[in-house]
Structure 1
Amino acid sequence: MTDERRVPEDESLEDNIGQQFDRLPATPDDRTVSGRASRKEIVDWWVEQYDVDPKIFDPFTFWEKGAGKIWIFGDDTSSPIEVEGLGMTVMRTRQRHWKPTMSAVQRFAQHANKNVIELSGEEAVRFAQGENIQYEAWDGDWGYLIVAHELAGSLAPIGVGLYLYGELRSTVPKGRRESLDTLE
């Protein structure tokens, strides 16, 4: 995957205030906080990485709280706002490779048309329990993939996996790992 991104730091811009939610600027040209991603960059990333139709994100606003923790909200409110949570976390930026959250993948993966890896029942169970999977059959991009399993005739997203060197690394958070019965 060619998802290595860095939003340029600009010393002439404001600093991030980590305890409040700030709406992302619409475009990079609208940026007022150094290093902050823009709405356009976030949506473009989902389009490039997973071939998600950008219109899927039209009803949502995007916010940053902390350093690169991006939230998606199905409404609008004043900015900045000091609350503990607003919508759900959608991804992490301000790091070498941007990473979608498990919640975002479970919410938006049904719209993805690329970089989705389908696991068998046994592999899906192991992945959901936090195990890494040896997976040589993948011939797509490396990086953060959407991990899914066929269930009742359609693909059901499990979470996010990091694919490197023939291994699919589970990034399922410890608190969300599941002990599942074997899936068929």
Structure 2
Amino acid sequence: MSDPETDDTGEGSESDEENLRDNVGQRFGRLPATSADREVKGRASREEVVEFFNERFGIEPAVFEDFSFWEKGKGKIWIFAADNPSPVRIEGLGMTVLRTRQEHWKPTHSAVQRFGRHATKNVIDLSPEQAATFARGEDQDLPEWDGDWGYLIAAHELAGEREPVGVALYVYDELRSTVPKGNQEALSVL
């Protein structure tokens, strides 16, 4: 069976190389190292993604050192704990980590749960009751937050450690839960 991205010799044709510069919804393309290396219009670079997590949440770039970043579709960024040739046509590769190509970049619920414990800023610490409300997917008034508006990491203390619960959107004194329906749960409050 022939690979549609190569000619009969297994080599890519010139038009195939041009197609690799396009964003294709069913194909993963590795993020370029820097914006100067960008070949696909609008695609974020690895440097921009790592910088976003560092600037917004204080997550050090070293946390992402052993990971590669990929885009599939328009702005859905995936993180993978290994390497692969690029591009690659598969259904999934690692986990989604970030949504770009919109006005405000949004980290995913999974990314916050996996990497949020490294965050040093824009983390809102919730009481057990507030965390339970958040985990159920419910919004709540929280005028006491005096930090940045926008996407935050919602966290609470569990066994003496700060544990990320998910992504929150904070606007106009309200903490909005963005916990996906499939991840919402009823937590018991002791």
Q: Same fold (TM over 0.5)?
A: yes
2:91 is matched with which residue? 84
* Deviation of 1:135 (Å): 0.5
* Deviation of 1:114 (Å): 0.2
**Alignment partners' CA distance in 2, 1:156 and 1:42:** 23
* Deviation of 1:14 (Å): 3.6
TM-score (norm. length: structure 1): 0.91
TM-score (norm. length: structure 2): 0.88
1:150 is matched with which residue? 157
1:171 aligns with 2:164: no
Please identify runs of 4+ aligned residues in structure 1 that moved more than 2 A: none
Residue aligned with 1:124, SS: helix
Superposed counterparts of 1:5-154, under 5 Å:
14-154=21-161
* Deviation of 1:21 (Å): 0.3
The total of aligned residue pairs comes to: 171
Cα RMSD (Å): 1.0
Alignment gaps of 5+ in structure 1: 1-12
**Alignment partners' CA distance in 2, 1:116 and 1:23:** 29
Residue aligned with 1:160, SS: strand
Larger Rg: 2
Alignment gaps of 5+ in structure 2: 1-19
1:181 aligns with 2:188: yes
Identity %: 63
